[in-house]
Amino acid sequence: MSAAGFDIPGYELQRRLGEGGMATVFLAVQKSLDRRVAIKIMRRVTGDTTEEKRFINEGRTLARLPHPNIVGVYDIVQNEDINYIAMEFLEGGILNDRISEGLTLFDSIGIVVQLADALQFAHDHGIIHRDLKPANILFRNARTPVLTDFGIARLQSMDMTRLTQTGMMIGTPAYMSPEQAQGGSVDGRSDQYSLGVLFYEMLTKQVPFVGETPMQVAFAHVHNPPPALPLRFEFLQPIMSRMLAKDPKNRFPDLKSFAREFRNLLAESKELEQQLRFTANQTVAERLRALGFSDEQIHSGQHQKVALSIKAEPGEQLPPEMVARQLLEGSELKLEPIQERHVHYTSDRPQRRDGGVPQWLVQLGTVLITLILAMVAYKLFVQGA
C-alpha cells in the first residue's frame, strides 16, 4: 500500500508533502518516465460540486500557462473514485520559510520581478490568480520562485457567481486587495496589489495590514493607509505606494508597466547601486538580469535607433566627409538603446515634422552615400596612379 493508503495507476506515492483546504499533496514517482512529481489529491466531499469544479479549474488553468515561474502540470484525472492533478515537483523550499529566515534586498527584488512576469503572463491569457501569498510560492532552485495554487483563479471574463457568491470575500485577508476584500469585481490590478503586500513583507518581515479577525484585516485594506517602508528602503516608496493604492485606477495599468517603472528606478538609483554592491564594469542590462529581470522586462518600452560611435566634442557639428573618414579609419556603426547618449551628425536642414522619413534615416543615408563616394574616389585615384 502507498503512502496515501491507496494506489494511483502509473504512480508510486512516496510521502506526504502538505495539506490544504481541499487537497493533500504527495511526492510520487511517475513510473513511465521515472520522474518525481507532486500529486495533488482532492478529498472527496459528497455532493460538493463547487469544490470539485475549483479543483479541476486549477489544473486546467495551470495547463494553459506554460511559464518558467508557473508550476507545470502533467496530468489531470477526474472520475468517480478520485480527482488528482500531477504536477512539477519543486524542491527549493517555500517563500514562507525564506521570509522567516530573512531575505536580502537583492533576493526580494529578484522574487518580485519574476512573479510580476508570471502574473502578467497569466493576465495576458485572461487569468487572475486572486490568492497570491507566501504559501503559494515555491522554489525550483535558489533563485527561481514558482507560482502555484490557482484553485480560486478565474478568467477575467468569467461571471464570479459561477464559483463564488456575489459579494462574498474570497482569498487570504492579509494579501487581498481592497476591491477583493469588499467582494467586488477584480482584474489584474488586484493581483498587483497582492504582489505589493508580498513585496512589503519580504522587505520588512511583516505584512502592512493586521487585525485580530479577518474582517478587521479586510477593513484595514479598504480604509487604512499603508505604513511607510523603513528609511533604508525609502527609494522604493514611490513604487510601493502605487502598488498599494486603494483605488485600482491609481495603481500601475498592468505589471508590464510596473516592471518598466521599477527597471528605470533601479537603473538610475545610486542608493540601490551602493546597497547591492554592483561592480563598476557591469552594464545596466547585466545588473537587471542578475536581479532577475527577464529580457522582455529589460527591453520593454525601449526603442532602438542607429547611432554612430564617432569622436566629437559635445555640441560639435561634424560634416559628412569627416564622419566618412572616421568610418574609413575603423569606427563602428552599431545599434544602441535609445537612452544611451551619443554624439550624432546633424545637418543645417530642418528636421521633418510631417511624419515623413525619420531624420536619423536621412542622416544615415547621407553618411553611407558619402562613404561609397569616398571609396570609389579612392579606387579611381589608385588606378590612376
Give the pLDDT band of residue 379 (cuts 50, 70, 90): low
Give the pLDDT band of residue 368 (cuts 50, 70, 90): confident
Full-model pTM: 0.72
Kindly report, residue by residue over 149-185, the tens digit of the pLDDT: 776 555 554 444 333 444 455 668 999 999 999 988 8
What is the Cα–Cα distance from 276 to 166, expressed in whole angstroms? 46
Cβ neighbours of 94 (radius 10 Å): 18
Kindly report, residue by residue over 232-248, the tens digit of the pLDDT: 999 999 999 999 999 99
Q: Is 191 a catalytic residue?
A: no
Query: SS3 string of 275-336?
Result: HHCCCCCCCHHHHHHHHCCCHHHHHCCCCEEEEECCCCCCCCCCCHHHHHHHHHCCCCEEEE
What is the Cα–Cα distance from 307 to 20, expressed in whole angstroms? 56
Residue in this structure with the C-alpha cell 534586498, named with its chain if needed: 105
pLDDT score for 72? 92
pLDDT score for 350? 45
Once rounded to an integer, what is the mean pLDDT over residues 110-123? 96
By C-alpha distance, which of 138, 186, 137 is closest to 160? 186
pLDDT at 260 over 90: yes
pLDDT score for 44? 67
pLDDT at 346 over 50: no
Cβ neighbours of 101 (radius 10 Å): 9
Whether the CB-CB separation of 162 and 221 falls below 8 Å is answered with: no
pLDDT at 223 over 80: yes
Kindly report, residue by residue over 63-103, the tens digit of the pLDDT: 888 999 999 999 988 877 788 989 999 999 999 999 999 99
What is the Cα–Cα distance from 209 to 232, expressed in whole angstroms? 20
pLDDT at 146 over 60: yes
Give the pLDDT band of residue 331 (cuts 50, 70, 90): very low
pLDDT score for 352? 45
Task: Please work out, in degrees rounded to the nearest 5, the angle formed at the alpha carbon of residue 275 by the alpha carbons of 270 and 276.
Answer: 100
pLDDT at 332 over 50: no
What is the Cα–Cα distance from 19 to 22, expressed in whole angstroms? 8
What whole-number percentage of the chain has pLDDT above 90?
44
Helix (H) or strand (E) holding 146: strand 144-147
Distance of CA 120 to the CA centre of its chain: 6
Q: Is 348 exposed, middle or buried (0-12, 13-18, 19+ CB in 10 A)?
A: exposed
What is the Cα–Cα distance from 236 to 136, expressed in whole angstroms? 25
- pLDDT: is 70 or 355 the higher one? 70
Active-site residue among 48, 107, 131, 295? 131
Give the pLDDT band of residue 284 (cuts 50, 70, 90): confident
For the chain, what is the mean pLDDT?
79
Whether the CB-CB separation of 216 and 267 falls below 8 Å is answered with: no
Residue in this structure with the C-alpha cell 579612392, named with its chain if needed: 378
Determine the residue type at 326.
Q
Retrieve residue 19's grid coordinates: 495539506
Whether the CB-CB separation of 88 and 74 falls below 8 Å is answered with: yes
Kindly report, residue by residue over 12-68, the tens digit of the pLDDT: 999 999 887 678 899 999 999 999 999 999 876 655 677 777 788 778 888 888 999
| Per-position b or e across 262-285, b if 16+ CB within 10 A of its CB | bbeebeeeeebeeebebeeeeebb
pLDDT score for 270? 81
Determine the residue type at 340.
E
What is the Cα–Cα distance from 240 to 238, expressed in whole angstroms? 6
| Helices vs strands, H then E, count in the chain | 13, 11
DSSP 210-274: --SSHHHHHHHHHHSPPPPPPGGGGGGHHHHHHHT-SSGGGS-SSHHHHHHHHHHHHHH-HHHHH
Q: Name the least confident of 99-103, 128-132, 133-137, 346-350.
A: 346-350
Once rounded to an integer, what is the mean pLDDT over residues 208-225? 94
pLDDT score for 247? 97
pLDDT score for 319? 57
